Amino acid sequence: MFTAEIEQLLSKIEADNYSGAAELTVQAADALQAIGAQAGDDREIEGKILAFGVRLISGQPTMGSLFTLVNGALLGLAEQYTGKTSGEFIENYCSKFLDTLNKNEETLYRKAAGVLRDGDCILTHSASSTVRETILAASEAGKAVSVICTESRPQCEGVALARALAEHGITVRLIPDAAMEYYLTETDVVLLGADAVRTQGFYNKIGTSMLAAAAHAHGVDLYVLCTLHKFIPPDAELPPQPMQDPAEVLPNAPRGLTPLNIYFEETPLRHCSGLISECGILKPAKLRQKLHPLKTAPALLNILADKTNQSEAPL
């Protein structure tokens, strides 16, 4: 169905288990623009975008910005009456999507940095680029913040984040994931990124739910940082995420021992002090109001619902 170029881009995104949502979204937008440029009539473009979207979302089911990119394109194709061809619409849509995303991220960094106080100790889990840029923005504003980073096993992306912050002159401590609750006693605020946000919770690295529950119990504020591009409509069904390479947990496991490796989990919003977006701080009730009017393109909704039901069917 796709050209070799688009197939290569799509396969790369599907297989990527390290890059963050921002990088993957840029790659997906490039592929989407290529589809718009290469496909034929309007109906063919819509069909290819739908097929592309289903593969994209199935391959990266917790990446909300990928869902929004495809869903917005399908909704826009159904509603646009500008006189442009569908190919022209997709090209303009992708460019505007990325431009808006970048501007909203910049706004988010400033708003989130404003929440931090001089002398704050920040604990973070995984390696969110949004959290990193927020901390750097606070530091550039003259706030002497320090950071506690978890290793974030099994890929240990938290180690890379800790190194990056230290190279910018931030005081950083690196801890094992299991020590998260122990170091909450020295933490002023927890900052986390999110790959997707739904009415009941947000997706982030496995272990986030334990951290959020512990922070709530200790009375430590926990803020989730993400733009509205990662918000998932309430009517959407997301495919289950795949199990990852067991060798990342334990190489050469002996017979009878099965390492289990899952990357993401959904954490309840009730454990959050708020979500900081380009709109400022959203408390859980206000956040749900933002999510409520969002809709999924009917064709995408139907296919994803079918895939979800198939995955849940008993063997």
- pLDDT tier, 314 (very low <50, low <70, confident <90, very high otherwise): very low
Identify whether the C-beta of residue 180 lies closer than 8 Å to the C-beta of residue 126: no
pLDDT above 70 (res 113): yes
195 is catalytic: yes
Burial 171-206 (b: 16+ CB within 10 A, else e): ebebbebeebeeebeebbbbbbbbbbbbbebbbbbb
pLDDT for 42 equals: 72
Per-residue pLDDT reduced to its tens digit, 28-54? 999 999 888 876 677 788 889 999 999
Catalytic one of 41, 99, 118, 195: 195
Per-residue pLDDT reduced to its tens digit, 117-145? 999 999 999 999 999 999 999 999 999 99
What are the residue boundaries of the structural domains of the chain, listed by start? Answer: 4-104+296-312, 110-291
> Which superfamily is assigned to 4-104+296-312 in CATH?
translation initiation factor eif-2b, domain 1 (1.20.120.420)
Report the amino acid identity of residue 190: V
Mean pLDDT of 259-264: 95
Per-residue pLDDT reduced to its tens digit, 17-35? 878 888 899 999 999 998 8
Q: What CATH code is assigned to 110-291?
A: 3.40.50.10470
